[in-house]
Chains A and B, each alone.
Chain A
């Protein structure tokens, strides 16, 4: 009995030793291989084995009332992937993502989900600036750089933004430009002297109206009111009545579709505002806005990227878009999304190294640095050059006016009404 026991124990020990030895040998062999190919990165390295895809993620608002913004940008990225033939450095491109809901909570949730996936190389997003504020630091903590095609709030690329935003870049314009163009338009083209603004508490709208008010005052105008509503509000008549007491000639409300539609519809019902000029921004420059606002949108102004100043490639893009989705773009940022994706692809191509066994190594810090080093990149929105805070856009903003034809056919105007340059 005891003999058997001793025998078994020794047998077990022997096998254990043997396997241990074998393991050590394997490790050694691996190390030898590693020595031949070295790739290090202070934050981390993404290793992609042959046959595995390169994983790019989006975090866009693809559901709910502001879904047109996210769908539009998502399609931009999809066309960029299609133009690459779906392949990068011999690997296929995997494109997945999360919905962000156009609010801070949604952005935080989406970024947390993306950050937990170690296969993600880079992200494209977010759409609304409120999402990026909590979301971008979460992604960068996980070493994922993100390029936004449609965040425009100045804060995100402000010198004071803090190191947690170091992985953040954008191909969209900074609202320091957009707000100033709107104010110049009001003063120089329309000749108004009294204006009121409304924001919805979002980072985007709050900062955009602040830039507008500042520029408007600098140009000699008076701001009669700077009001705010909640994005879920429906009854805007009381706040508009309050604004009417200041007798403005111009109301600037750079907010989103739902609340913006209610304001547009209700303005003309308020005594004293029947003849006021209305102006919104790129956040509601979408056929969905015409659905929400109806005929009340006729004659209203929007500031938005100047499509006529885009590079030659834009026409091609529109043809591909029409062929692939059977309709015109839904919002203004599809081209910026295309450029963001192309910028990410170019940076990956620059930093990725192939090991002898075919595994692709991408350093996270190296990728971020390569993105920030983007200079004179020929995109379809213009020539992109990133500054040290991640502003890469070539900003050309124009003002558009909505006609009856636009509302009836639910298409955005394609010829600018006024340009600052």
Chain B
């Protein structure tokens, strides 16, 4: 019946295309194919996804109509989320770049992240004692940043040389397990080196001020964190997209053998990937220490897991995807509990912050299995 109705409408257009009979057969084939592809699993997945989405929308509507939070509160939530998300994004870069080049998940990256700020703590504490932090805050923070980036980069570089390079060409599971082992090794090495307690980062007085930007109250270190993260992500994007070395990196990521035939030193490019990831992680570490002012040997674990989530969320292997995923995750963690759980009448919603982050991951993967920006890459490499 519907075919009969549709046909006359499509008639005039098909005049220049294939004959109507052929088109109808083609359409039927498409429909069957679609039905074949649409399995019970898909239906359940879509139902779950739709259910979560409905809950989110209902919760948000209830919260917003209750009017408990003012615009100022929402802006505060967003600034907190943006600052936290920029840190996730910087760490996620390391995961995503290594995956893009080596197709492996570098679980030890969270320890690369920890090693930088923990090492730099001793420099920061020294500056604090000598008063340099007070008199020359910019210079001393810059030094702390350099030390942190250097430490993280060194750890990342050695990690690749010692733990991963000898295993290149081994089955995929082998480097994965090695990464987990390396993660524990690094964690407890740093515990042995620096102790199992907390160390409190000295407070930079200059960053404790509050600024009013267009009527929005922002804390000094939030501005620094967000601006520094944006700057570094911009620089990295420029490096990968516009420089010759970036081009070589992308070539290695697409096809190692062809890249080698073109005269690119693949090993060097892989080392480069780890170095860049380490630099980003070291910088993220200092920003983390500015925000939370605490370091200890286990500090990398949770941010590492979150950044990995961010990388998958944005489409693993895709650099802008990791940035987007990190910031998205930061927003969700900060806004989510108040926005939709509060409206659903859930008591003490912030306890479920992590659950929300991972539910979002499930939701995104149901509707976009390759992540937010991951499609092009997945098609190319599948």
Contacts and interface: CB of A to CB of B under 8 A. Distances in A.
Interface in A201-246: 201, 226-230, 232-235, 237-239, 241-242, 244-245
Nearest to B355: A230
A241 B79 CA distance: 12
A238 B349 CA distance: 11
B351 A232 contact: no
Contacts of B294: 234, 258, 261-262, 292
A228 B350 contact: yes
B348 A226 contact: yes
Given A238-B334, A238-B337, A291-B197, A65 B296 contact: yes
A258 B198 contact: yes
Contacts of A392: none
Interface stretch (B69-77, B103-111, B279-287, B364-372): B69-77
Contacts, number: 99
B256 interface: no
Interface string B196-207: 111110010000
A265 B203 CA distance: 10
B76 A230 contact: no
A411 to B, nearest CB: 16
Given A257-B198, A261-B294, A233 B203 contact: no
A237 B80 contact: yes
Interface residues of B, number: 39
Interface string A237-272: 111011011000000000001100110010001110
B183 interface: no
A239 B353 CA distance: 10
A245 B298 contact: no
Contacts of A242: 337-338, 342, 349-350
- Which of A226, A244, A265 is the most central at the interface, judged by chain B CB atoms within 10 Å of its CB? A265
A65 B198 contact: yes
Mostly, the B contact residues are: helix
A232 B306 CA distance: 12
Interface in B283-302: 291-294, 296, 298, 301-302
A239 B337 contact: yes
Nearest to B348: A228
B76 A271 contact: yes
Nearest to B221: A269
B165 interface: no
B354 A230 contact: yes
B292 A262 contact: yes
Contacts of B200: 261, 291-294
A235 B351 contact: no
A235 B293 CA distance: 11
B25 interface: no
A369 to B, nearest CB: 39
A226 B81 CA distance: 22
A234 B294 CA distance: 9
Contacts of A131: none
A78 interface: no
A271 B80 contact: no
Contacts of A262: 292, 294
Contacts of A282: none
Contact of B302 (A63, A232, A293): A232
Nearest to A234: B292
A65 B80 contact: no
A229 B351 contact: yes
A175 interface: no
A85 interface: no
A228 B347 CA distance: 9
B302 A227 contact: no
Nearest to B347: A226
A245 B72 CA distance: 11
A63 B196 contact: yes
B351 A201 contact: yes
A67 B197 contact: yes
B376 interface: no
Given A235-B333, A238-B338, A65 B84 contact: no
Interface in A257-311: 257-258, 261-262, 265, 269-271, 288, 291-295
- Which of B303, B333, B350, B351 is the most central at the interface, judged by chain A CB atoms within 10 Å of its CB? B350
A295 B205 CA distance: 12
B381 interface: no
Contacts of A258: 198, 294
A18 B163 CA distance: 64
B333 A238 contact: yes
B129 interface: no
B198 A235 contact: no
Given A64-B298, A235-B333, A235-B334, A291 B196 contact: no
Given A65-B198, A230-B354, A288-B198, A241 B293 contact: no
A262 B80 CA distance: 14
Nearest to A295: B203
Given A64-B298, A227-B351, A237-B80, 5 more contacts: A233-B350, A239-B350, A241-B77, A262-B292, A271-B217
Interface of A: 63-65, 67-68, 199, 201, 226-230, 232-235, 237-239, 241-242, 244-245, 257-258, 261-262, 265, 269-271, 288, 291-295
Interface of B: 68-69, 72-73, 76-77, 80-81, 84, 196-200, 203, 217, 219, 291-294, 296, 298, 301-303, 333-335, 337-338, 342, 347-351, 353-354
10 contacts: A64-B196, A226-B348, A227-B350, A228-B350, A229-B350, A232-B302, A237-B80, A271-B72, A271-B76, A291-B198
The 4 closest A-B pairs by CB, nearest first: A228-B348, A239-B350, A228-B351, A237-B80
